[in-house]
Amino acid sequence: MKEYSVALSDETYAGIEKHLIRDDGQEDLLFAFYVPSTGSNRFSGIIKELILPKKGERILHGDVSFTSDYFDRVIDMHLQNPARGIALIHIHPMGEQWQELSYNDHVAEQGMAGAVHALTKLPLLGITFAGITGAISARFWKKKDGEWTPHHCHNTRTVGKALDVSYRQLTESDEEYLDRTIQAWGNTLHSKIINARVGIVGLGSVGSIVAEGLARMGIHKFVLVDGDEIKKVNLDRTINSTRKDVIDRRKKVSVARDAILESATTADVQIATFETFVQEHEAYRNLIDCDVIFSCVDKPLARSIVNFISYAHLIPVIDGGINCSKKDNDTLRSADWGVFVTSPGRACLECIGQYNLGDVQMEQEGLLDDPNYIDSLPSDHFAKKHENVIVFSLALAGQELLAFVNLFGRLSGTSADNYLKVSYPSNYVESGNERCNENCHYLNILGMGDLISPPI
Amino acid sequence: MNVNEGAQAFADQLRSIGIQSSIKHQTWVEFDYVVEGGKFAGTSVKMAINVPNNFPATPPSGINFSPRLMPQNTSAQHPQRSHPCRHPDWKANGEYWSRPHSTWNSEGNKNAQTYMAFVRQLWGDVV
């Protein structure tokens, strides 16, 4: 693994914060269980269950330590449900940003790393909570050259209606390129945004514009997934595509990659491209490496897979769609587009109506690629509707990029809505925040990571 | 033969409601079925359901059965809509109803029993 990370829901974060922030300002600690979430290049621990200390199970003396009774209780709980790893979380009351290991913390965590690994077959996860800012820093303990060694996380992610990311090391912006952007929203937000790894599934009319916008905003780590080639019919909407791309039968991801490299405003651009679809294993695994995923697709199977990733692996997804309708006299009646953001506490793409589970299986069986079957469908069926104009794609992509900024924002007045719908030409705008229905499958798999079989 | 996990779960759940089935071609759960309602009430058919690997997260797309009971009509809507059978062994004399379960994700019990209630309703709609 090249990178390590930690993810937790904002609800879990609140539980940690409530326990660790003490009125007397002393240090404190707690244990937790984590679930592995394994991407192609990133191993994450999803904090799933907090094990708060009972009275007498830790000793507060300026520093803090735990008793063997507490650790024994954690072991007993693990034996009852052994597929999880163990995390030890403590606070540095005066900590501000990412906390490096102090000598005492190093000794304490290293001393238990071997026992935890022997029991769980998973590395001990050490977490430090910075008392001043609430930033979380973390490391997994693995054996290297015969010694238990900390493998520091690249970042930690608190996922809810906002995405709060702490990074160990930040790539600095080149202010010559991004001066106006940083002037607009400040360096703190900008640093968080540009250091995220962003997945884009679908590099067509909307995805190509999203990629261009992100590159110019300073984002420089991308995972691009699309199996389609540029065709003549795409040229009226797919930004940066040319007639030559059609003749050369270039893949959409290849065109988008070259465009990002040309437009990027941050150095050290990293782009992983997959000329396949999201249901292919490598593409799927690389998306689990991402901090945010844009879903710029129009079929139910791909949407259901990114929806699964969003909830099982706690990675927010920004999805969009455009629907044009015409009058009988062959003129445009309206164009409606919507942006939908998924994360814990918000409705998933299935519950909000972006796809139907029954259609997912139809696509898996090949029905939605069968011209005879598609011919038989009603004219308003989604599989037959491809009408679009670049101005609608530009509007939708712009709204998706704003939703992306809002995720990181926590700006005053930041919208927590999980959908925004716009109608043209009436300019009717609707926004709101829905939750999943109480029986939604995705609520049951929230943060289950590798414990739940992937839908591919 | 490797059996799809979803198909196995579906077959196990059918057994719990008294329906004995077999799994063919890894994903197809086959069983004898007597139509309970609608125009074909009382008719015996062989039913086959192609079950997704991640059932019950994803439901089947519809039902296949043999023998064919209705004329093929791919342009009509339910209950007249009927497609060529997709079961590998029944193409000559089978029928496929493409009827996605549109409210599956809001069902409290996502299991074969709930799916079969949906199937009963589909047959009952044919009058």
> What tens digit of pLDDT does each residue of A161-176 get?
889 999 999 888 888 8
Cβ within 8 Å, pair B100-A364 = no
Q: Name residue, tokens 């209780």.
A: A73
Average pLDDT score over chain A: 93
Judge whether A222 and A271 are in contact, CB under 8 Å: yes
Residues 335-394 of A with CB under 8 A from B: 350-351, 356-362, 364-365, 367, 372-373, 375-376, 378
Most confident among A92-96, A244-248, B89-93 (mean pLDDT): A244-248
In chain A, % of residues over pLDDT 70:
98
The number of CA neighbours under 13 Å toward the Cβ of B117 is 9
Residues 409-438 of A with CB under 8 A from B: 437
In chain A, % of residues over pLDDT 90:
78
Distance between CA atoms of residues A88 and A66, nearest Å: 10
The pLDDT tens digits of the residues spanning A28-40 come to 999 999 999 999 9
Judge whether A184 and A144 are in contact, CB under 8 Å: no
Q: What is the pLDDT of residue A253?
A: 98
Q: Would the pLDDT of A21 be above 60?
A: yes
Judge whether A57 and A51 are in contact, CB under 8 Å: no
Distance between CA atoms of residues A44 and A37, nearest Å: 5
Measured in angstroms, the CA of B110 and the nearest CA of chain A are apart by 9
- Strand-pairing partners, residue B3, are none
Specify the higher pLDDT residue, A22 or A43: A43
- What's the farthest any 2 CA atoms get from each other in chain A? 80
The dihedral formed by the CA atoms of A19, A25, A26 and A29, expressed in degrees to the nearest 10: 20
Which helix (DSSP H) or strand (DSSP E) does residue A185 occupy? Answer: helix A175-185
- A85-92 and A124-130 beta bridge pairing: parallel
How many Cβ pairs within 8 Å bridge chains A and B? 75
Angle at A95 between CA A91 and CA A96, to 5 degrees: 130
Residue of A nearest to B81 (CA): A376
Residue type, A390: I
Please state, in angstroms and as integers, the Cα–Cα distance from residue A335 to each residue in A138, A202, A325, B106, following that order: 46, 21, 6, 29
Q: Residue A19 burial by CB count (10 A; 0-12/13-18/19+): exposed, middle or buried? A: middle
- The size of chain A, in residues, is 456
Considering only the beta carbons, identify the residue of A362, A365, A441 that sits closest to B110: A441
For range A348-360, the mean pLDDT: 90
- Chain A residues in contact with B105 by the CB 8 A cut-off are 350-351, 357, 437, 439-441
For range A443-448, the mean pLDDT: 94
Distance between CA atoms of residues A194 and A210, nearest Å: 14
Confidence of residue A415 (pLDDT cuts 50, 70, 90): low
Cβ within 8 Å, pair A361-B74 = no
Residues of chain B scoring pLDDT < 50: none
From A1-5, A10-14, A49-53, A193-197, the region with the lowest mean pLDDT: A1-5
Q: What is the pLDDT of residue A18?
A: 96
Q: What is the pLDDT of residue A453?
A: 85
